[in-house]
Amino acid sequence: MTTPSTSFVSVVAVVADDAPRLAAFAADTLRVLAATTPDHELILVDDGADRATAAACDRVVAEHECVRLIRLSRRFGTDVAVTAGLDSAIGDLTIVMAVASDPPARIPDFVALGDRGADVVIGTTGRRGRSWLRRAAWQAFHRVFRRMSGFRLVPGAATMRLFNRRALNALTRIRQKTVHLRLLGCSVGFRTVPLDYEPTAPLRVAPWLATAGEAVSMIVTHSPAPLRMVSYLGGFASLLNVACMAWVVAANVWKDRVVEGWTTLSLQLAIMFFFLFTTLIVIAEYLAHAFEEVKDCPLYHVAEERAGSTAVSDARKRNVSVIAVDPLEEHDEPRGPRRHAA
């Protein structure tokens, strides 16, 4: 029999239109957590779900212990909803799961790797649910993104992943307005371990246009390389124009008759306008990102937060306790209550 873990494990699950499967997912997750560690919690993040799913979340909170619900004021997207759950997690190890496709039975495997010292464990599904064309496109993007940003993405990464407290503290200090779930764990540089698993349902594959938009956003958000590349192209185009001007001068000096330069002038103008508008597109993307970053507004809004009758497995446990101090005892520091973790 496997020895129960001594770590406090938090599970963050984003809920969006998952009413038919939510009750079974919550029951299975809590059962596996109880067998894995005595200290655990399940955090449901309601990302603007429909009424049926919202009602299902309320029933789960009312029927089970160690469950918390974070209801966002509107749909912010999975990446931001996961961030809201991670901000609220109190566990030594925190696992992110998708209700629709991630198996609760694999939680002990993730926890075991976390207990053995892995800072980040990223679940992978390999080729499952992805066409060969999509896999080839993502492999090409991974190589380009690594060269531009220095971040190594895990091939075939899925939603399910684990963070220990050190990695999670580092992640929650990053307050970018543009959040990408694919980069959670890769950007902090801690020890990352992949773990392959079989999803319980086919993966939700985003449309090509949305996938391309996410790829562009990841590059623009985390790398100045596109802007530098446009600068290099602009410098090269300038040198070409200098060479063209030198050729025009030489032609007028050494040739007796010079044909009207309408073609050359038109070609030059076309090249210059091509680079000009390419530069404007890249600058516009960076300005849009800078605009999102400088806006002084929260990343998300919590409309409601609820908890079950018991927030932790043992109601007698406290994260912080207060010890009375003898007023006659001498201290080198100001007198007051001492706090220590229980």
Rounded Cα distance, 279 and 263, in Å: 24
Which of 3.30.930.10, 3.40.50.720, 3.90.550.10, 3.50.50.60 would CATH assign to domain 9-223+300-305? 3.90.550.10
φ/ψ of residue 305, rounded to 5: -135, 125
Altogether, the residues listed in the chain come to a count of 342
260-294 tens-digit pLDDT: 665 577 667 777 777 777 777 778 777 766 755 66
Residue 339: pLDDT above 80? no
Query: Could you tell me the pLDDT band of residue 24, with boundaries at 50, 70 and 90?
Result: very high
Q: Which two tokens stand for residue 37?
A: 């560690």
Note if the pTM is more than 0.85: no
pLDDT score of 8: 94
pLDDT score of 156: 72
Burial grade of 202 (CB within 10 A; 0-12, 13-18, 19 or more): exposed
129-169 tens-digit pLDDT: 566 677 777 777 777 777 777 677 777 778 899 999 988 88
Mean pLDDT of 233-238: 74
Residue 235: pLDDT above 80? no
Cβ contact 22:98 at 8 Å: no
pLDDT score of 93: 95
DSSP class of residue 328? T
Q: Are strands 192-196 and 302-307 parallel, antiparallel or unpaired?
A: unpaired
Q: Report CA-CA distances (Å) from 42 to 39, 61, 88, 100, 336.
A: 11, 10, 11, 16, 35
Residue 204: pLDDT above 60? yes
pLDDT score of 30: 95
Most confident range (mean pLDDT) of 188-202, 271-285, 306-320 is 188-202
Q: Which residues contact 201 (CB under 8 A, 6 or more apart)?
A: 100, 101
